[in-house]
Structure 1
Amino acid sequence: MLTPLAADAQNLLFKEAHTAHAFTDEPVTDEQVTAIHELIKNAPTSLNSQPLRAVLVRSDEARARLVERMAPGNQPKVRQAPLVVVLAADLDFHETLSKVAPHVPNARDLFADETMRHDTAVVNASLQIAYFIVGVRAAGLAVGPMAGFDAKAVTEEFFPDGQHRALVVANVGRPGPEAFRPRAPRLTYDEVFRSV
């Protein structure tokens, strides 16, 4: 087989998976989020950098602050989802690199250039966000990732240390009625890939 993953797993994770736009009110527990983290934590990033940081928005007060910073079309989704997660890049990930990448003893020197460090953080945190989405699906939940928000304001509100950059806000839970829209078209292989 070209893709040895079982057909039902392929469908759950990729072929039949959709972005969720509505959820039931069933809570998403800390144990479920921990299980998702345990599932995805070994997925690869460059130098094993692991810059992803996440805030689980659980309180009504924090959710209200987040709703104010979302695009109008996303505000009802954030109000309704059982769990909302702000996913960010730790721009100073190199400070913890020796813990997760002992084979990189000179992380401070390697990432002394701030632009390179920030770009590396964003790329690798984005990879980890993709793994998080697949992990949520593997846990039998649905996810609605969103980029429609005031990133600067969300970053300042939920990561006030100035060391992070909010990249995605994701709603997580069990899909509710009419959670999924019809599948939109996708680019073909030939539109995406070329050989040189």
Structure 2
Amino acid sequence: MATLDQAALDQLFLEARSYNHYTDQPVSDDDLRALWDLLKMGPTSANQLPARFVWCTSEAAKAKLAACCSEGNRDKVLKAPVTVIVAMDTEFHEHLPVLFPHTDAKSWFDGNAELRQASAFRNSTLQGAYLIMAARALGLDTGPMSGFDAGAVDKAFFADQPAVKTNFITTLGHGDPATLHGRSPRPAFETFNRIA
């Protein structure tokens, strides 16, 4: 497998930023479908794909979500072209006969709610990260956040799906570079790593 060129590395990582403000350039339903078609290919354990996404594009949906957010995040949600709820289905195992058909993976999780919760959280978080990277690859920007009341989001958006629980949310659009401040520092390898 070849290494990506510098321009691609810059777009995905080195020059990518988390945005709080976006331009007026719209994000279409076709953009969202293209984003899904890319992010869904990211690996999860046993192809669990437990993430469930709500793409809040309407003013009503964004207002409902903003009401569940901390004061500092409400305006971000309201003004972004799209805000995505990244949730997790704790009954993802029901889909494994289709998603992972070559073995009886569903039986690994039957009757074990604690294992399903842990696995759904871990793998939906991975899928949320794939969403961010896929957005960058497609020329979009994101602003992930955790300043919200997850229980309130669940009640507002998943009342009819009690097995689905909110993980995190992120804004999505074309970031306004004029609103950025300096990049926060990143530590050297030795600070948080060791090779064993």
TM norm structure 2: 0.94
1:81/1:106 CA distance change after superposition, 3 Å: closer
Any runs of at least 4 consecutive aligned residues in structure 1 with deviations exceeding 6 A, and if so which?
Answer: none
Superposition pairs of residues 36-51 of structure 1, within 5 angstroms: 36-51=35-50
Q: Percent identity?
A: 36
Mapped contact 1:143–1:173 kept (Cα < 8 A):
yes
Mapped contact 1:49–1:97 kept (Cα < 8 A):
yes
The answer to whether residue 175 in structure 2 is matched with residue 157 in structure 1 is no
Which residue does 1:167 correspond to in 2? 167
> Which string of whole-angstrom CA distances, capped at 9 and with x for unpartnered residues, describes residues 130-189 of structure 1?
010000001101100111100111012111121111111111111125342311111221
Which residue does 1:24 correspond to in 2? 23
Farther-moved stretch of structure 1 (7-16 vs 50-59): 50-59
TM norm structure 1: 0.94
The answer to whether residue 63 in structure 2 is matched with residue 64 in structure 1 is yes
RMSD value over aligned CA atoms?
A: 1.6
Mapped contact 1:67–1:75 kept (Cα < 8 A):
yes
* Matched residue SS, 2:195: coil
The answer to whether residue 101 in structure 2 is matched with residue 107 in structure 1 is no
CA distance in 2, matches of 1:17, 1:179: 14
Give the unaligned 5+ runs of structure 1: none
Farther-moved stretch of structure 1 (132-141 vs 59-68): 59-68
How far off is 1:108 after superposition?
A: 3.6
How far off is 1:21 after superposition?
A: 0.9
CA distance in 2, matches of 1:106, 1:195: 33
Mapped contact 1:22–1:178 kept (Cα < 8 A):
no
Output the amino acid matched with 2:35: I
1:103/1:180 CA distance change after superposition, 3 Å: farther
Which residue does 2:180 correspond to in 1? 180
Which residue does 1:91 correspond to in 2? 90
Give the unaligned 5+ runs of structure 2: none
Query: Aligned pairs, how many?
Result: 195
Mapped contact 2:59–2:78 kept (Cα < 8 A):
no
1:9/1:101 CA distance change after superposition, 3 Å: same
